[in-house]
Amino acid sequence: MSTHTLTESILVNPVFAGLSQTEAEDLAHHCEVLLLPPERFIFKQGDTSSDIYVLFRGRLEINVRDMAGVNNKVGYLEEGEVFGEMGVLESCPRSASVSTAEDSVLLRIPGEGFTTMTASGHPAIHRLLQWSIHKACNRLRGLDTRLDHLFKEEDE
């Protein structure tokens, strides 16, 4: 994907809504596009966390290995999802494995690019973090709802 095409893809992606052409071009210079077929690992649980990803197109599967060493499918990521940020922000190993469930297009923001753009206060990083926080809050609300239902069932 050319830098021009990548810039256009960034500009229409809801994660980066509101970036200027120049800001999107700058982000594109720090990133890489991955075109992946189905059943390809992006990273595995326990891997070193160095990159953040945005799913532009496709669907991804999330698996977590339990204490017995069994991999358990825990969910899917859909277009527009940001992932991999927890490990990068916390400097800890990957907490899950992520693989492609179908042909997928991802934006990979390497750790160095992320660090450089963070240090300069780049608006793309601000948008990325806002989006990640918003999604994390939605996941927590969903978990709270499921826990409420679980405890209500136990009380009955």
9-19 pLDDT, tens digit per residue, is 899 888 998 99
Q: 22-61: per-residue pLDDT in tens? A: 999 999 999 999 999 999 999 999 998 889 999 999 999 9
Q: How far apart are CA 60 and CA 40, in angstroms?
A: 10
Contact status, residue 42 vs residue 100, Cβ threshold 8 Å: yes
44 CB neighbour count, 10 Å cutoff = 15
Residues with Cβ within 8 Å of residue 102, at least 6 apart in sequence: 38, 58, 59
C-alpha torsion 51→8→22→24, nearest 10: -20
What token pair was written down for 91? 């400097």
Instruction: Check if the beta carbon of residue 38 is closer than 8 Å to that of residue 101.
Output: yes
Angle 116-125-142 from CA coordinates, rounded to 5°: 140
Confidence check: pLDDT of 106 > 70: yes
Residue 32 β-bridge partners = 108
Reported pTM: 0.82
